[in-house]
């Protein structure tokens, strides 16, 4: 069974290291101050799931959160 995930950035933790956007530009974009935000408002496409986990592993502030998509539903 495949579990769909969402990825987001915790703005209270992000310090603008930009590793996420370098590793997964499809998933993260930087604002005018260099802080990251998620580029998608939907589930991470299956071909980008590995990149999402790689970005999370490389964020020194542990600012990237990955959750099952169902938990993000209202």
> Rule CB under 6 A: which residues touch ligand F3S?
9, 14-20, 36, 59, 61, 63-64
Alpha-carbon span 21 to 9, nearest angstrom: 11
Nearer to ligand F3S, 49 or 63 (CB): 63
SS3 57: helix
Nearer to ligand F3S, 15 or 42 (CB): 15
Strand partners for 28: 38
* Min CB(50)–ligand F3S separation in Å: 16
Cα three-residue angle 3-65-24, rounded to 5 degrees = 85
* Min CB(41)–ligand F3S separation in Å: 17
């Amino acid at each position: 069974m495949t579990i769909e995930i969402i990825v987001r950035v915790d703005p209270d933790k992000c310090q603008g290291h930009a590793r996420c956007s370098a590793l997964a530009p499809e998933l993260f974009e930087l604002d005018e101050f260099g802080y990251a935000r998620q580029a998608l408002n939907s589930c991470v496409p299956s071909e980008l799931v590995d990149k999402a986990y790689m970005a999370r592993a490389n964020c020194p502030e542990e600012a990237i959160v990955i959750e099952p998509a169902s938990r993000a539903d209202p």
